[in-house]
Amino acid sequence: MKIVLIGGQSIPGIGGIESYVLNMAKSLTKQGDQVTIICCDRKSYTDTVSGIEIEHIACPKSNTIALPLLFIKALRYIIKNRKHIDVINYQSIFFAFISGWIVRLCHCKVCYTIHSLAEDNPKHSKFMKILMTATAFISIYCCGKNIITVSNSKAQEIKSRYGKTCRVIPCGVNMPTEFTETNIIDKFGINRGYYYLTIGRMDPIKNLDILIQAYIKRNNPRFQLVLAGDYTNSHGAYLRDLAKDNNNIIFVGSVMGNDKETLLKNSFANCLLSSSEGMPLSLLEAMSYGKPCIVSDIPAIREVLQDDWGLWCKVHDIESASNQMKIAEDNYKDITDKSTHMATHIANHHTWDMIASRYKLYIQNI
C-alpha cells in the first residue's frame, strides 16, 4: 500500500507525535508498504530517512495555525500523486475534514488520528479552551467514522464529550538492544544509576514544576533530577528559574537516538506527573527498560501500568510525589524486582511491528 501520514514538526523530531509517525512509518516500510510523511518545518524541502520520503512544508511554529495550513498545503502533493496513494492519515482532527473532503474526491481513503485533546492543556485561557472544544466538536462531527485514537481512556473521553466512537490503536516502542552509549552522562556530570529522569516537551500539562518541587522537598543530594526536553520556550525558562538554586537538577535539552537510550538505561527511576496523556511514549520506553516509574494517577497511565508496577501520585500533589521518591529510594530492590515484569509486558503488547500490523489491518478495511 501507499500510505501518507500528515502531521508533526520537523520529523525526525523529539515529540510524541513525531516519534509515533516516524516509527509507524518505519515498521510499515519493513512490512512492504510505501510510506510518505508530510510534516511542518521552518522551510520546505524533501529528504529520505530509512527509506521513507519526508516532505517538509514551511509552516508557522504555532500548532493552532500550522496544522490546518499544513493540511491545505499538503493537497498539492496529494493531488499530484493521487493515482498512487491508497490512504491518507491526518494526525489531528482540527479542520482536517476540509482537506479530507478534497482528498476523497481524489479517490483516496482518509482517516484521522487523535493523539490528545488540546483543550485539556492548562496553558490555554478559558476562552481558548471553549474555542478549541467547539472546533473539536465540529471537526470530529465532520471527519466521519474513520477516527483512530491511541488509548481506551482517550476513546472514552472522546465518546463522552463528543459522542464519537473511535478505533483504538495504541503507541509502540522499539525494545532495547545493544548500543554504543554516548558521552551525555559525563558531559552533564550525571551520576549513573542515581538520577530521576523525565523525557518530554516542557509544557504545563506535564507538571514538571510539581516534579521539581517534589525533588527539592525530598532533599536527598545522593540523587539527581534530569530533565530532557526543549527548554527554550517560556515554560522552560520558568522551570529553569524554579530550579536555579539546586545544582543537582540538570536540564540536558532535547535528546534523541543513543543519547536518549543512554539516559534511559542508566536512570534510577522515570517520572511522569502529567495531568493528561494520550498514551505516553516516554512511559512505554521506561517500562521497556524495566525502570521504576513515579507517575500521576490518571486513566491513560493506568491503562498501561499495573497497580503494583507504579509508584502512584495524586495529580498536582508535591507531597505525594516526594513521598514516592522516598519509597523508591528505601525499597529499590523490591520495586525493581516487580518492574522487570514491565519489559516483558511491553515486548508482548507494544512493539512497533505489532502496532503497525494492527494499524495496517484497520486501514485496509476502511
Helices (H), the chain: 16-30, 63-80, 96-105, 126-142, 152-162, 184-187, 208-218, 234-242, 257-266, 281-288, 299-302, 318-330, 332-349, 352-364
Listed in sequence order, the residues at least 6 apart from 271 whose beta carbon sits closer than 8 Å to its beta carbon are 196, 197, 198, 211, 293, 294, 295, 321
Looking at the predicted structure, is the pLDDT value of residue 335 above 90?
no
| The predicted structure's pLDDT at residue 105 | 87
329, pLDDT greater than 80: yes
**Domain-located, residue 178:** no
pLDDT of 95: 82
pLDDT of residue 270: 96
State whether 193 and 333 are in the same domain: yes
pLDDT of residue 308: 84
Say whether pLDDT at 19 is over 70: yes
Mean pLDDT of 268-293: 93
The percent of residues in the chain predicted with pLDDT above 90, rounded, is 75
How do residues 207-220 score in pLDDT, each as one tens digit? 999 999 999 999 99
Terminal-to-terminal C-alpha distance of the chain: 13
| 38 pLDDT more than 80 | yes
Q: Is the pLDDT of residue 199 over 80?
A: yes
pLDDT at 14: 79
Query: How far is the C-alpha of 110 from the C-alpha of 54, rounded, in Å?
Result: 19
Is residue 159 located within the same domain as residue 274? no
Confidence at 63, pLDDT banded by 50, 70, 90: low
- Report the side by side order of strands in the sheet with 249-253: 249-253, 224-228, 195-199, 269-272, 293-296, 310-313
SS3 298: coil
- The answer to whether position 80 is within a domain reads yes
Please give the residue that has the higher pLDDT: either 201 or 316.
316
Q: Are residues 192 and 136 in the same domain?
A: no
Q: Are residues 282 and 166 in the same domain?
A: no
CATH number for the domain including 111?
Answer: 3.40.50.2000
Do both 219 and 148 map to the same domain? no
What is the pLDDT at residue 25? Answer: 97
pLDDT number for residue 216: 97
Phi-psi region of 219 (alpha: psi -120 to 50; beta: other; left: phi over 0): left
Give the pLDDT of residue 2.
96
Mean pLDDT lowest for which of 101-105, 190-194, 319-323, 355-359?
101-105
Could you tell me if 193 and 157 lie in one domain? no
Domain span at 99: 2-172+351-364
Please give the Cα distance from 320 to 315 (Å, whole number): 9
Q: Are residues 78 and 143 in the same domain?
A: yes
3-class secondary-structure state, position 149? strand
Within this chain, do residues 163 and 24 fall inside the same structural domain, yes or no? Answer: yes
Task: State pLDDT tens for residues 127-171.
Answer: 888 888 888 899 998 888 999 999 999 999 999 999 999 999 999
My answer on whether 228 and 260 are in the same domain is yes
**Res 172: pLDDT:** 94
pLDDT value, residue 129: 85
Q: How far apart are CA 216 and CA 210, in angstroms?
A: 10
Asked if residue 125 belongs to a domain, the reply is yes
Residue 128 lies in a domain: yes
Count of domains forming the chain: 2
Shared domain check, 273 and 160: no
Is residue 244 one of the residues assigned to a domain? Answer: yes
Do the domain assignments include residue 177?
A: no
pLDDT in tens, 113-134: 999 887 787 787 888 888 888 8
Same domain flag for 208 and 130: no
150 and 16 assigned to the same domain: yes
In a domain, 167, yes or no: yes
User: For residue 179, is it within any domain?
Assistant: no
Q: How far apart are CA 147 and CA 140, in angstroms?
A: 8
